Chains A and B, each alone.
Chain A
Amino acid sequence: MSSLTKQILSHSCDISLLDFIQKAASIGTWEFDIESNSLYWSDETKRIHEVPLDYIPNVETGISFYKQGYSRNRITELFTICLEKLEKYDAELQIVTANGKDKWVRAIGIPVIENGKCIKVQGLFQDIDEKTKNARELAYKEDQLRRTFDNALVGMAIVDLNGSWLNVNKSLCKTFGYTKEELKQLSFMDITHPDDLRVGYKAMMNMVNGKINYFETEKRYLHKNGNVIWALLSTSIVKDKNGTPLHFVAQINDLTQIKKSSSKVAQLLATTENQNKRLLNFAHIVSHNLRSHYSNLDMLLDIMKMDVPETTKNSIFPLIEDAVNHLGDTVSNLNDVAVMNTKRNINVENVNLSKSIDNVLSSIAAQILQTQSKVSVDVDPKINISGIPAYIDSILLNFLTNSIKYKRQHENAVILLRAYEKGEYIVLEIIDNGQGIDLSKHGDKLFGMYKTFHNHEDSRGLGLFITKNQIEAIGGKIEVNSEVNKGTTFYIHLRKHETN
């Protein structure tokens, strides 16, 4: 390489070094000459303003780059003071670049004084956008964190290694009934339930020793008013760069209400179990004690007939016999219901609906014929349900005989049975053209015990009650739709048979 080229290179190196420094530090320079009223911007200053390098600024345009409002007012004020009072300035302000971008800059202006008069202002212009934005973001995040801490629904506290509160949030104050100031005078031991003072102590020691970083426990505290507070405490330790423990961050979740509700649930459960036991006991009383009195009455009537036949030949004796028979039926029905309701493990099996219907229809064939009823069945023979065969038979029998029993006068009963799938159920519809039931009057007690809605000689009102219990015992449910003098449709929801 020739010495000339070296010289040129070293010269251009000087210029590029200055340029390099300006670029790297994002610092531009500027100079304002008062006499010529001219403003000079270095290349970097122009780059920060995002103007082309051949751009020629003047004081007015220079100032107009500052963001309207605070920044522009402030720079005008500072620049004026600098010129008039010869004071330098150093401010962080916002400009809007030629491309319309908001930017944070550091603007420094220093008056050059000759004979006590300002002849020039020289200055630096630094792009501090990223740094300022980061600082502002950090401040925002800190603010957010502080607000989160203050307003969190869970009680939060910063506790020093000796257990004193460094900071507590509102929720914590509310939980314990103290003000922030009052709490800060206390240590966490002061508000811990005396029986739970040792709870979590070992874990805290382990955190200080660096064995664990976090622990969670349930413990009791005391409210300012003395009430016990159940809380879930989760604590983590905060350490400095070198791993030296600084303080704890504790979250205290008030569980008192949850504890109260769960004890209420437990109580309810106990009550229910107790009631179930009593129901079982009731079933036992019905099947043993009530029945024994009925059977004695029945037996005595039999003996009376044989031993003192003359006493039975009056109008009262048959009535007594009827009453005793009804008592027997009632006791037996009551027992059925009690047994159904108390049986825990019912063995359900696969039942073919169509076959069950056929069986029941053939068992009441005589009744159908005699009443000239018309029964049509539209049930897919492939439909299987899960249930107890005896219950299914009893359910079908009850609905079918009801439909025949409560047919409209002077009209033959027409009954349609049809079945279809609906979700987890098979719905069996039993549609009749009978007397119907006024559901607005009787709807809520339709399936109640001993409710009758028709003046029929055998209407004893237990059928629907037992049927409903049987349907529910095998996991089904029942719905009804009815119109007086039009007919009734029962929707019997039965469990689908599970193939596996």
Chain B
Amino acid sequence: MKQIDIACIIDDDPIFVFGAKRMMELSDFCESFMIYKNGQEAIDNLKPIIISGENIPDVILLDINMPIMDGWQFLDEFIKIESSKEITIFIVSSSIDPADKERVKQYQNVSNYIVKPISIEKLKRISEGITEV
């Protein structure tokens, strides 16, 4: 089911990054990864990539609570960049605060809100969601 080429993880928690990456590998989720520690680092690196049109990630798993630039700020910056390829964004957060789930609905290009912990099952559903489109 290798439809997803590049998955991008934006999260400041190294344990989550390690686990998510491992789970993706175990479940054959994607071919390769891009990993950024916060929104600022992600924007700085993704902008030239998207403009160049090469190696654009298919899916972004975005954390909310991050230092320097958080998930919301990242989204506000990210929607300004025009992309030739459709990029699916999932918010992946440990927050079960209903206010956060509500806020996600304001962003059209965010597909869904996934509550941590991440599992093989959840990854499968993400993958199916993207491949359906």
Contact = CB atoms under 8 A, between A and B. Distances in A.
Nearest to A284: B97
Interface stretch (B75-83, B103-111, B116-124, B125-133): B116-124
Contacts of A339: 97-98
Given A295-B116, A298-B117, A288 B94 contact: yes
Contacts of A291: 94-96, 116
A332 B116 CA distance: 12
A302 interface: yes
B20 to A, nearest CB: 8
A303 B96 contact: no
A179 B71 CA distance: 73
B96 A302 contact: no
B68 interface: no
B9 to A, nearest CB: 13
B71 to A, nearest CB: 12
Give chain A's interface secondary structure class: helix
B112 interface: no
A288 B19 contact: no
B13 interface: yes
Interface in A313-348: 332, 335, 339
B19 A296 contact: yes
Given A284-B97, A287-B96, A299-B16, A292 B116 contact: yes
Nearest to B120: A302
Nearest to B20: A299
Nearest to A291: B94
B119 A299 contact: yes
A293 to B, nearest CB: 8
A205 to B, nearest CB: 60
Contacts of A302: 19, 23, 117, 119-120
A260 B118 CA distance: 56
Contacts of B96: 287, 291, 332, 335
A25 B88 CA distance: 116
A366 B49 CA distance: 57
Interface string B36-78: 0000000000000000000000000000010000000000000
B22 interface: yes
A302 B20 CA distance: 11
Contacts of A303: 19, 22-23, 26
A114 interface: no
A291 B23 CA distance: 19
A291 B16 CA distance: 12
Contact of B95 (A288, A299, A332): A288
A332 B117 CA distance: 13
A299 B97 contact: no
A299 B20 CA distance: 8
A307 to B, nearest CB: 7
A220 B95 CA distance: 54
B89 to A, nearest CB: 20
Interface in A149-196: none
Given A294-B117, A302-B23, 17 more contacts: A288-B65, A288-B95, A291-B116, A292-B16, A292-B65, A295-B115, A295-B117, A295-B118, A296-B15, A299-B23, A299-B117, A300-B15, A300-B19, A302-B117, A302-B119, A307-B26, A335-B96
Interface of A: 283-284, 287-289, 291-292, 294-296, 298-300, 302-303, 306-307, 332, 335, 339
Closest 8 CB pairs of A and B: A295-B117, A292-B94, A295-B116, A298-B117, A299-B19, A291-B94, A299-B117, A296-B15
